[in-house]
Structure 1
Amino acid sequence: MNAEHPSAETLDLPASRQANERLHALIPGGAHTYAKGDDQYPEDLAPVISHGRGAHVWDADGNRYIEYGSGLRSVSLGHAHPRVTEAVRRQLDRGSNFVRPSLLEIEAAECFLRTVPTAEMVKFAKNGSDVTTAAVRLARAVTGRERVALCGDHPFFSVDDWFIGTTPMSAGIPPAITDLTLTFPYGDLAATEELLARHEGEVACLILEPATHTEPPSGYLEGLRQLADRHGCLLVFDEMITGFRWSEAGAQGLYGVVPDLSTFGKALGNGFAVSALAGRREVMERGGLRHADDRVFLLSTTHGAESHSLAAAMAVQTTYTQEGVTARLHELGSRLAAGVRAATAAQQVDDHIVLRGRPSNVVFATLDEHGSPSQQYRTLFLRQLLAGGVLAPSFVVSSALTVADIDRTVDVVAEASAVYRKALDAEDPTPWTGGRPVRPVFRRRS
């Protein structure tokens, strides 16, 4: 930060406040992703970013922060990573989009399938929603069934109607579409089997994140594979987060369970817009030209093969495999988690600031004096982190973080924990929230 450790009471972001007003005047919600909205941050303390390098970002007021969860987990190598930017730079004078496929598309597909060898074909797009919806469409076409079963314990799959209609933000989505989407609980094979039996012959696919804040129970993913085969539906893994963070080949590579289809994004481009739908050849080919069945309109996107993003994706995959990035993410995340747990325990708030998830994907929950999730206490915690120069909607690490960054973060958490303890003792965090609490993304009213 510009000031030497300002307090949450003295931290002021006038340029960011002005920029936020301009954003809301021009862009619905003030951001292109709801999770980046200023309602997700304490009132008047939502920094607008000027630029970033490595694990650090600077806001419009010139303050520097150690950043976590970069780009909603997409920037896992750090901002402006030299291997990625150089790969993109080489493409700049070679054109970006052509009337026919380019040689780069072959190279990018071969690179992806080497990295994720459990898949046999791949098609690229620009964002995760495109490819998860494409997976659902393929599953419906292959099975001739209309219903989709998604894991109700996982927070997000797509901006498209089949998923968003199941959230509180369902305005504009006909119930007839939502009625085709079913949910099943994570880790409960019996409940999933009961759902498939109740809708026998109706479910096109089971779609879930193979792992999130908890590891899959022993035999769970194998059991889902067996259930899908037994009931004639497809198994789809959403690997937006687990892809690269769990292993270079995703969760399917780590746990050894092969889905029919899987979707990748986020870390695949290190911030460049690229996602991937991958899977079994006989399923994927339904979107191609070499079959006799009805054709599936599969990811026919103008910018799906834009060369700069494909070059970035290839550089990312090469960096991961050559430099052992996944292992580094686990090492950094483990150091951070151990430090945070020690800091919160020292202030006796470790039952209230709770860490969850694999070391490469650590998130935190903020609980009140009764042990219930609290947006007010989250607001307090975020304010204290920001005052200490830590921008952390989560504790998801990038490989650009240094040991010094981690240790500084732990020091800031220790200071924040002392304030958290005061609020718990007072049984009222209001004096430390600085205004309205942060809000959940999925809510019916603004």
Structure 2
Amino acid sequence: MNAEEPSLPRSRQANERLHAMVPGGAHTYAKGDDQYPENLAPVISRGSGAHVWDIDGNRYIEYGSGLRSVSLGHAHPRVTEAVRRELDRGSNFVRPSIVEVEAAERFLATVPTAEMVKFAKNGSDATTAAVRLARAVTGRPRVAVCADHPFFSVDDWFIGTTPMSAGVPAATDELTVTFPYGDLAATEELLTRYRDEVACLILEPATHTEPPPGYLAGLRELADRHGCVLVFDEMITGFRWSEAGAQSLYGVVPDLSTFGKALGNGFAVAALAGRRELMERGGLRHPGERVFLLSTTHGAETHALAAAMAVQATYVEEGVTARLHALGERLAAGVREAAAGMGVGEHVVVRGRASNLVFATLDEDRQPSQRYRTLFLRRLLAGGVLAPSFVVSGALSDADIDQTVDVVAQACAVYRKALDAADPTPWMGGRAVKPVFRRLA
């Protein structure tokens, strides 16, 4: 293991080329070079399993692969073979492919709490379709989003609630209201205040915290009593909590749910699923007013649907969710032990479900710190660990976990020095990493 910082001359040059042509230098803000220490934002050449190589030739153990989408590991043979079989058959036709039938059947067998499904290419389209459908079936204008969950859509109904709301009309923003996670009384107060105005409650069923006992069932009851639609955003919880989603794990069935991320193992596929009575409003077999639910040119590309089917089969047959949890538990225990051993156990904090771990970097006053995050990420990169989070993939080996823990221990030793000095600046190597959602560039 090389403790020196990686040399990234080609990556730095490629980042400059990206910024010259692509706003933000990446096609996802969370992949921007502002999320990494200065001059240490690698540009990736290839990936295999749990490892990636940058264009400078450096190899890394990777976490949070593809923003949590690559849960089986890069270039997983079963997925790539399924995709390869479809490529020579054509990918898009003027009528539905038989693959669309097979993919829908596979999905509904995997997620039996859903009665109908429609595929898309990204999660934002699916969540926005859920919101539109909820508004249509209830005749109500307002959307209630969980204030404690970071992202639901690139569309105005959500982006208007963030610090990057430039370009969103105030009239649109006013139609979105928020409720706190885990607080049924506050949610009921919101629904009472906006009586007969809220079309849906949309939330992730769980994130870095488990739902309090009875919370999701309580939301189900509130939605029924107040006549609004309950939507679970399962972009992350789908597959990582259970192949059938958190709704299966916790035994609470939403009216609509959205899936993505792990569904394609890196291939672009998402899904809107839910009760037939609601979903069919976007179809042709009902007497009422039609809803423009989802209609995307590339939403049913055959190779992406083939990838999704291979992912689902792999999860079910190989017990992938259990493996993700086992790997995450091993990693979390190791990181916590390493942090405690270096005297920073209350400052480098691992949180979340074992299959979806994140870490917090806290300062001398135990407050979240981007400056200490910069120090920590810099030392991880020096040890060959690319980890904006500690979200595991099934391709990690025990040796990968052990190496990661060793690197974390070295990073924590430096972290302790910074805490003792009450200033991480000497170890940051430049400007601090920045949050994605901020008002100014």
Q: Tell me the distance in 1 between the aligned counterparts of 2:254 and 2:248.
A: 11
CA shift, 1:393, in A, is 0.1
Q: Tell me the distance in 1 between the aligned counterparts of 2:204 and 2:17.
A: 36
Q: Tell me the distance in 2 between the aligned counterparts of 1:114 and 1:314.
A: 11
Residues 134-283 of structure 1: matches in 2 within 5 Å?
A: 134-283=129-278
Q: Tell me the distance in 1 between the aligned counterparts of 2:375 and 2:95.
A: 53
CA shift, 1:298, in A, is 1.1
Q: Tell me the distance in 2 between the aligned counterparts of 1:6 and 1:215.
A: 36
Aligned residues: 441
Equivalent position of 1:49 in the other structure: 44
Residues 419-434 of structure 1: matches in 2 within 5 Å?
A: 419-434=414-429
Equivalent position of 2:361 in the other structure: 366
TM-score scaled by length of structure 2: 1.00
Task: Report the AA paired with residue 12 of structure 1.
Answer: S
Q: Deviations over 1:351-376 (max 9, x none)?
A: 00011100000000000011111000
CA shift, 1:432, in A, is 0.2
Mapped pair 1:131 → 2:126 = yes
Equivalent position of 1:74 in the other structure: 69
TM-score scaled by length of structure 1: 0.98
Mapped pair 1:5 → 2:20 = no
Equivalent position of 1:417 in the other structure: 412
Equivalent position of 1:353 in the other structure: 348
Runs of 4+ in 1 over 4 A off after TM superposition: none
Residues 266-345 of structure 1: matches in 2 within 5 Å?
A: 266-345=261-340
In the alignment, structure 1 segments of 5+ residues that lack a partner are none
Q: Tell me the distance in 1 between the aligned counterparts of 2:46 and 2:3.
A: 22
Equivalent position of 2:19 in the other structure: 24
Query: SS of the residue aligned with 2:53?
Result: strand
Equivalent position of 1:84 in the other structure: 79
CA shift, 1:293, in A, is 1.1
Task: Report the AA paired with residue 5 of structure 1.
Answer: N
Equivalent position of 2:108 in the other structure: 113
Task: Report the AA paired with residue 6 of structure 1.
Answer: A
CA shift, 1:7, in A, is 2.4
Q: Deviations over 1:383-430 (max 9, x none)?
A: 000000000000000000000000000000000000000000000000
CA shift, 1:292, in A, is 1.1
Q: Deviations over 1:287-333 (max 9, x none)?
A: 00011111011111000110000000000000000000000000000
CA shift, 1:335, in A, is 0.1
RMSD of aligned C-alpha atoms? Answer: 0.5
Q: Tell me the distance in 2 between the aligned counterparts of 1:355 and 1:401.
A: 18
Q: Deviations over 1:28-66 (max 9, x none)?
A: 000000000000000000000000000000001000000
CA shift, 1:97, in A, is 0.3
Q: Tell me the distance in 2 between the aligned counterparts of 1:178 and 1:405.
A: 45
Mapped pair 1:444 → 2:425 = no
Task: Report the AA paired with residue 3 of structure 2.
Answer: P
CA shift, 1:168, in A, is 0.5
Query: SS of the residue aligned with 2:406?
Result: helix
Query: SS of the residue aligned with 1:278?
Result: strand
Q: Tell me the distance in 2 between the aligned counterparts of 1:173 and 1:230.
A: 32
Q: Tell me the distance in 1 between the aligned counterparts of 2:369 and 2:129.
A: 36
Query: SS of the residue aligned with 2:426?
Result: helix
